[in-house]
Structure 1
Amino acid sequence: MNAEVIASSTFQSRATVVFTCLLAALAGLMFGLDIGVISGATQFIQAEFKVSDHIVEWIVSAMMLGAAVGALAAGWLSAALGRKRSLVLGAMLFVLGSLLSGYAWSPASLIAARVVLGLAIGVATFAAPLYLAEVAPERIRGAMISTYQLMITVGILVAFLSDTVLSYSGAWRWMLGIIAVPGVLFLLGVLVLPDSPRWLFMRGRRDEAMRILHRLRNDAAVVAREAADIEEQLKTPQRGWHLFLENANFRRSVGLGVLLQLMQQFTGMNVVMYYAPRIFQEMGYDTSAQMWFTALVGITNMLATFIAIALIDRWGRKPILYTGFAVMATGLGVVGVMMHGGIAGHAAQIFTVSMLLVFIVGFAMSAGPLVWTLCSEIQPLKGRDFGIGCSTFTNWIANMVVGATFLSLLNGIGNSSTFLIYAGLNLLFIVVTFWLVPETKGATLEQIERNLMHGKRLRDIGG
């Protein structure tokens, strides 16, 4: 009988952990939906409001502006309100922004609604991985955080498929508003999540933290050990700003994190995510084909993410980045050359689309997930929150710049030159990776920090 009770209790504990982590990972789904949904709607928004490409750029990039602000506030919110309440706030803003987008009465109101959506994403994308890292048991922590990354690609795919179905009626308001439905479900689910035990320890609520740990772990020895580890780690306060001012080595790691995020954004990936139908229009496809090929982009992005999950701890970070940047440069380079010569005939169109999909594979298997991994690995413990905050803010600002300039580049220098510029940047990133990016495979965070603080070259700190 006792064995049955123990087995039942263990099963309930594991089920609670999995449910908790998967629900928090759905924040990634919200993120992906928000990225993908605007892609199919822009041409219909432009037709209804009769606005220029420049206004369309701002409608698209307004979300990234909001996300940058949200990311700046997220650190304070997650500390003051807690990880769970930050996720609740993010979910509420997501639902509000989605509904406002669907009911937008002018370009200005749509831009404002997209800023609200961005605020939601900025908060959620900070709080969700942090919550997952603090709630998931060590043995499945990596898998749960990888699930969060995968859910982003699933969200993008779902948004692309939804846009494709609704494109036949041109119902852009439904495209933007319907994502409020999963947002409401996410909000209801998050409300039943437990608080992060680490946050409760930080707030001096030890008894409550221990109760939640017992519910999540169901093993007194594991709970005692984890509680002791948390309390020991909390003795090392975050002092990132002071460390940044005082320590040149820390400034180097922060600078590298910022550079990595710039590299990720200027691969051109989000150009495809936000403007895929317009790109397929430039290839000569009609509206229906544009939308279905956009859905194919989402499928390719999701499936190729599994390549990174499979290879990251086998090949190492740098070999995967070399491969990814080379593949991306080749894919976009061929697209640019094909557009320069003129895409005549069905075979040429299919070949050009195939090379764009090759580019998607290159990103999803390399810079997409690996940049986030590296940005968390290279920062020393005392400045980790500050360093990751700087790189995350950079990601959103660079994302906004890319989204706000693509159509202007197309109109200014032409489609061929635009894609060739992005291809050239990917070639440059191979060189940058060689000179500055460390190989962190197999290195502990403590080893990386020790090498950094001893002044080793950035590319050698993983050794």
Structure 2
Amino acid sequence: MGLVQDLKGASRLGVLVAVAAATVGIIYGYDSSNIGGAMLFISKQFHLSTHQQEWVTTAVVIGEVIGALFGGALSNRLGRKKVMVTVAATFALFSLISALAWSVPSLMTARFFLGLTIGVSVVVVPVFVAESAAAAIRGAMLVLYQVATVTGIILGYLVAWALAGTGSWRWMLGAAAIPGFLITLLLLRLPDTPRWYMMKGRRADAERVLGQIEPTADVAAEIDAMEADLAETTANGRSTFDALKEMFRTPYLRAALFVVGLGFFVQITGINAIVYYSPRIFEAMGFSGHFALLGLPALVQVAGLAAVFVSMILVDRMGRRPILLTGIAIMVLANALLVLVFTQGSSFGGALTALGFIGLLLFTVGFTFGFGALVWVYAGESFPAHLRSLGSSAMLTSDLVANVVVGLVFLSMLQQLGGAGTFVVFGLLAVAAFAFVAKLAPETKGRQLEDIRHYWENGGRWPESDASAHTSPLDAQ
């Protein structure tokens, strides 16, 4: 009931802005899963080897890495809203071009440019939402992006399943243009964020939008706080390179190491191996048929979606650290179960196959509850306004680099190490991720964005003057 009450207390525009921005996650999720279904038919039409399948799948992720590198700078220069509108529109365009591909090189080229748009979006959306949501619901609104992403993943699998009988991978890829077009129309109605307006010296616009988003706030005082924060830590008039140098030195070096490390662990622990290659993993477990290879992955993601909703309800009550650590712990247990299943599974069937399905389901639930939800929260919260886009860009670039690695090697790992060896590797990486988060992740629950920088400036601890007001059992960092 706490989240419901907070949402009732928020302005209609504030919730609309966060929801509309978060829906960009639908196109990210849809593309992630529908390529898994489409590859069952693309590989047959173009006679692709295992290595070629990995490259076709990963071409979009390579584009995402490059898009993420420039996403922060673009959103600072052009505005959060304008960049997101461009992302949605170009996603629709390159989805159609992917569907019209006449060869493997043309398909990889189209998917590379598709990845550029997605890479920009995963950087800009968390910043846009963080800067547009009230502190009391900011965590939930950021988690909403993961809700949209998982919804997109489910839609991608369901569309692939519905079209599997025809074998039409072109329709599977081209259908992504529909949500891209609809989301473009939705985003066109939104204002930009008050903090971006202040970065550009547009105080009147900032006051107008903040007053609409938080009608009960002391608008003049909050705008004054933003102005003071920008004056104290401003990078205006300096190059992006200068801002990057500031981000990777004291007092923000610890924050930079945290966001880059978190982004890397989010993907290197293997979630997109599950999303991209679920049909192949289910095949390795003895499943067959279109429902088993495409319908069951969708069912796994439905469980993941439920976990995201639980995370969204708890994130502004329970806190960021407990949710993230719990999710990673579930992933460790899931990996252990999958290792057991593949160790015993020389011939799958019956209870062993059911345990394998449960293992994949637990892996996905643990990820979406923890990493999947919280990466967007920390991407939007970790840095002060003038470094926020660049910090989000650094985190999500690291995330996508790890995604490239997983996408390029997973099928080969599955063939060479077997299922047991593959999930031993992912399990050890999840244990390392748990230790990393326990050591470095701050608890930012309920704090104003302008105050979070004090944590890093105080050497990775909250100043004593305000630490007691936000203490919980897992707030040690």
Q: Give the TM-score of the pair, scaled to structure 1.
A: 0.87
- Give the corresponding residue for 1:270: 272
Call closer, same or farther: CA 1:349–1:99 in 2, change over 3 Å: same
In the alignment, does 2:168 pair up with 1:164? no
- Note if 1:280 corresponds to 2:282: yes
Matched, 1:366 2:370: yes
Please point out which of 331, 334, 338 is paired with 1:328: 331
The corresponding residue for 1:230 is 226
1:247-326 matches, cutoff 5 A: 247=250, 249-288=251-290, 289-326=292-329
User: What residue is the counterpart of 2:89 in the other structure?
Assistant: 92
Judge conservation of contact 1:164–1:295 (CA < 8 Å) in 2: no
Q: 1:109-148 alignment to 2 at 5 Å?
A: 109-148=106-145
Specify the alignment match of 2:419 in structure 1.
415
Q: Distance between the aligned counterparts of 2:281 and 2:274, measured in 1?
A: 7
Tell me the amino acid that sits aligned with residue 164 of structure 1: W
1:184 CA displacement: 0.9
Instruction: Give CA-to-partner distance per residue, 1:8-66, whole Å, 9 cap, x none.
Output: xxx9x944444443222211212211222212111111001111111111111111111
| Paired letter, 1:344 | F
Aligned equivalents of 1:370 and 1:271: distance in 2? 19
Q: Return the match for 2:399 from 390, 395, 399.
A: 395
Q: 5 Å matches for 1:95-110?
A: 95-110=92-107
Report if the CA contact (8 A) 2:326-2:366 is conserved: yes
Is 1:82 the counterpart of 2:79? The answer is yes
Letter in 2 for 1:147: L
Separation in 2 of the partners of 1:452 and 1:415? 41
Farther off after superposition, 202-211 or 262-271: 202-211
CA distance in 2, matches of 1:408, 1:444: 46
Letter in 2 for 1:302: L
- 1:246-298 CA-to-partner distances (Å, cap 9, x unmatched) read 52x53232122211122211221111011100100111111321111111122
What is aligned with 1:72? Answer: 69
1-side partners of 2:81 and 2:449: how far apart?
27
Identity %: 38
Which residue matches 1:4? none
Name whichever of 413-422 and 396-405 sits farther off: 413-422
| Aligned AA (1:144) | M
Report the CA distance between 1:116 and its aligned residue. Answer: 1.5
8 Å Cα contact 2:98/2:107 also seen in 1: yes
Conserved in 1, the CA contact under 8 Å of 2:301 and 2:364? no
Moved more, 76-85 or 374-383: 374-383
Matched residue pairs, number? Answer: 449
Q: Which residue of 327, 342, 351 maps to 2:355?
A: 351
Question: Could you list the runs of 5+ residues in structure 2 that have no partner in the other structure?
Answer: 1-7, 236-241, 463-473
Name stretches of at least 5 consecutive residues in structure 1 with no aligned partner: 1-10
Match of 2:20 among 7, 19, 23: 23
Tell me the equivalent position of 1:36. 33
- Which amino acid is 1:323 matched to? T
- For CA contacts below 8 A with separation 6 or more, give which structure has more relative contact order: 2
The normalised TM-score by structure 2 is 0.85
Distance 2:368 2:476 in 1: 23
Query: Which residue of the other structure, out of 46, 49, 53, is the alignment partner of 1:49?
Result: 46
> How many angstroms does 1:359 deviate by?
1.4
CA distance, structure 2, for counterparts of residue 309 and residue 120 of structure 1: 26
SS in 2 for 1:366: helix
Say whether residues 1:240 and 2:248 are aligned partners: no
Alignment correspondent of 1:3: none
In structure 2, do the counterparts of structure 1 residues 46 and 95 end up closer, same or farther at CA, with 3 Å as the change threshold? same
* Superposition deviation, residue 447 in structure 1: 7.1
Aligned-partner Cα distance in 1 for 2:204–2:191 = 14
1:14–1:384 CA distance, 2 compared to 1 (3 A): closer
2:466 alignment counterpart: none
Q: 2 CA distance for matches of 1:64 and 1:246?
A: 29
Residues 305, 215 of structure 1: alpha-carbon distance in 2 compared, 3 angstrom cutoff: closer
Aligned CA distance change for structure 1 residues 200 and 437 (closer, same or farther; 3 Å): closer
* Alpha-carbon distance between aligned partners in 2 of 1:402 and 1:109, rounded to the nearest angstrom: 23
Displacement after TM superposition at 1:375 (Å): 5.0
Q: Which moved more, 1:423-432 or 1:108-117?
A: 423-432
Amino acid at match of 1:81: L
* AA of the residue aligned to 1:103: L
| Cα offset, 1:176, TM superposition | 0.7
| Farther-moved stretch of structure 1 (381-390 vs 123-132) | 381-390
Alpha-carbon offset, residue 327 of structure 1: 2.1
